[in-house]
Structure 1
Amino acid sequence: METVLITGASRGIGLELTRQFLALGYSVISTYRGQPSIQLKSLLVHSSLKLYELEVTDETSIANLVAKLSNVQLDILINNAGVIGSDKQSMEAIDSKEWLNTFAVNSIAPLMVSRALLGLLETSAHPRIITVSSQMGSLNRESYGMYAYRSSKAAVNKVMQVLALELKPKGIVVCPIHPGWVKTDMGGKDADITVEESASGIVKLSRSLTIEQSGKFLTWQGTEHVW
């Protein structure tokens, strides 16, 4: 069975992705920041789950993780770790330091993690890199507020589009995906879909991605999203 690595797995979509991949028999490597949540630790009853601490914005932390995985054949990388930032993201209230941190986590870290794990992905017969983005970064959607979050997701979409072009000759599929508006701590209770529905769609998509889809912005339902 294949091996999948999921960042930001202590809660929300990352936690549910861990659950669902384990249920399908995958070898799962899930990462967390600081300390793993009780919910994530409870999944260690599965012998096919490995947990590692990872600060996605810290290149030393990334290097330490890669060193621990030196003998792993990695088939799927899911860059799920992300931040939404504070509610104060209007023109008047936005804080430049917070904005830079949002970019570090949401836009830069997915490329840094992907680059570091490239050698492990190249050992797979069907390597895939999925980055959880958001339609809030779509340039075709006119909406206001949330400057830091929206711009960071627009940026990571472009980063993944460029990465897809660079890695396509190696046969590595790269796609940013919109996970839906999900009922998580980040999405809020008024969101459209459950975390189980979102994760199920992402799992299904990750298993079926083809090289022809590389570089496209997709939804959790597998449809193509406008940039």
Structure 2
Amino acid sequence: MRSASVNGDILLGMTNQRSTTFFCFSPPVMLATFALEIGFAAYVLWRYKLTPITRLIVAMLTFLAIFQGTEFLLCGGLTLQGGTWSRIGYTAITMLPPLGIHLAFLLAGKKPGMLVAASYISCAAFIAYFGFATQAISGHTCYANYITFDTASASTLPYTLYYYGWLFIGTFLTYKWASDLNKHRRAALYALMGGYLALLVPTTTITLLWNETLAGIPSIMCGFAIILAGLLTFKVAPESIKLRRNTQSLRLRLPF
């Protein structure tokens, strides 16, 4: 067996299984992040009118929170048989790319078409695999402040292409459409693009430097997802959804 470590973040076993190390947070920070992202979702539901954009933002925040929550539960003593929490976590993180693509279309005033459908279909395929294939996720190990998940090595490259592919497409679309919109929708799209870049830049950099980290895309991203959550809550939502109440919403003052 050969193993590689990247700043303590990823530990990969070169066998028929790859161990993906989630080194982003200690369990207390995982729990705090879960609570924060759930709080963001509740705030958006309370503060803004219920529209398709609202539903997508809340869904993204909720799946981000579920991912953090499953990490905490795996090492917090509440364990289900058969790697249930691991499968729930992977399902949650797999939902983010199509939801982001769908949100970009709605923010730009575009009718969701074949591209959005393709993103959901590919998402469903990976959820089915990680959720039901016996060897997709075979186990996990909790250490002092990280978790390793054993995933089938055959899924690493397809899942990498799935995640990088849709995130790059989302980044391109937000940049392409933003300049043609009014200032509020333009700001919302640029904020979404900023969230994409907060996920893409660190993972791309690390993957280019250490090819062994291909299996660790969700692991690397989890430490930066709170940036996406904050932008969704305090920039995308207030720039694109009407308030339920006639008062000021919390809004980030960004240069766009």
TM, length-normalised to structure 2 = 0.29
Q: Which has the higher strand share?
A: 1
Which structure exhibits the higher relative contact order, with contacts defined as CA atoms closer than 8 Å and separated by 6 or more residues?
A: 2
Q: Which has the higher helix share?
A: 2
Q: Which has the larger radius of gyration?
A: 2
